[in-house]
Structure 1
């Protein structure tokens, strides 16, 4: 099994999904900082950008959680 095949398999595993959720949530820290700075500077355009980025992060986490649930359902069916 090649390293590339292993990496693709990891991405679809529970551990890989948890890691993706963590890194996506870690990105939220930057968005929070951006929003605070935009509010402090009264920069509406940056604030809108932060809100859109936060929505993208929330959507990404929701998709990953759905994938995690699907992986959990598959494990029950296989067991």
Structure 2
């Protein structure tokens, strides 16, 4: 069962699901940033900024994995 989950995570479908869930996380962080700015809460703003950086990094990694899978498909076809 764990092997199936690992294979799904490395599949194109799994990567697209990860991209989608990360996009929802980005919406949440955007709301958090807006609230922190409205409340002039520096600590919350720093937290949201770090979360945004993590999301950007995660998206870059997912994009790289998708690109690599696409390259593999071309080699196999």
Q: TM-score, normalised by structure 2?
A: 0.94
Alignment of 1:22-41 (within 5 A): 22-41=20-39
What is the CA-CA distance between 1:7 and the residue it aligns to? 1.6
Moved over 6 A (4+): none
Corresponding residue number in structure 2 for 1:58: 56
The number of residues matched between the two structures is 77
What is the CA-CA distance between 1:51 and the residue it aligns to? 0.8
Aligned-residue Cα RMSD (Å) equals 0.8
Distance 1:67 1:24 in 2: 15
Could you list the runs of 5+ residues in structure 1 that have no partner in the other structure? none
Distance 2:45 2:4 in 1: 40
Distance 1:78 1:41 in 2: 54
Q: TM-score, normalised by structure 1?
A: 0.92
